[in-house]
Amino acid sequence: MRVRCLEIIHPDGDVPVTEFNGIRVGGVYPVLEMVTYDIDCQIRVLGPETPDPGLLWDPASFETVDTRIPPGWTLVITGGRTRLADARWQRPGFWADYAHGDPQALADYQHVKRELLAAAPATEN
């Protein structure tokens, strides 16, 4: 799945900007996951200069340009949260383990990231 950035509202001032952390208005980027909490929805997007593990964005700032769901993705609903992501990232505590440097979580993240980037055509700007 790939999306095109339509707008960026800087988080520190609600001011429109053309670029933030490697994501540019008009650029096309792979989606790493989609997460919903109650009525809030976010997508994790990775740009070529975005720090790992990508950034969570309001999907209202993007439009879909490739609707294909990557192989291996699953939908999990638990604890008021819905996540659409690779099955390797769906285990409880994955992101906490990633943030704490757990070797398996880091390896799973890098493996999925490589797969998604290899499947996505080059970023358009």
Give the residue from 61, 73, 75, 72 showing the smallest Cα distance to 29. Answer: 61
Q: How far apart are CA 125 and CA 122, in angstroms?
A: 10
Q: CB of 5 within 8 A of CB of 14?
A: no
Domain ranges of the chain: 2-119
pTM score, whole prediction: 0.86
Q: How confident is the model at residue 125 (pLDDT cuts 50, 70, 90)?
A: very low
Q: Is the pLDDT of residue 11 over 90?
A: no
The pLDDT tens digits for 72-124 are 999 999 888 999 999 999 999 999 999 999 999 999 999 999 988 888 665 45
CA 107 vs CA 29, 37, 42, 61, 99: distances in Å:
22, 26, 24, 30, 12
Q: CB of 1 within 8 A of CB of 28?
A: no
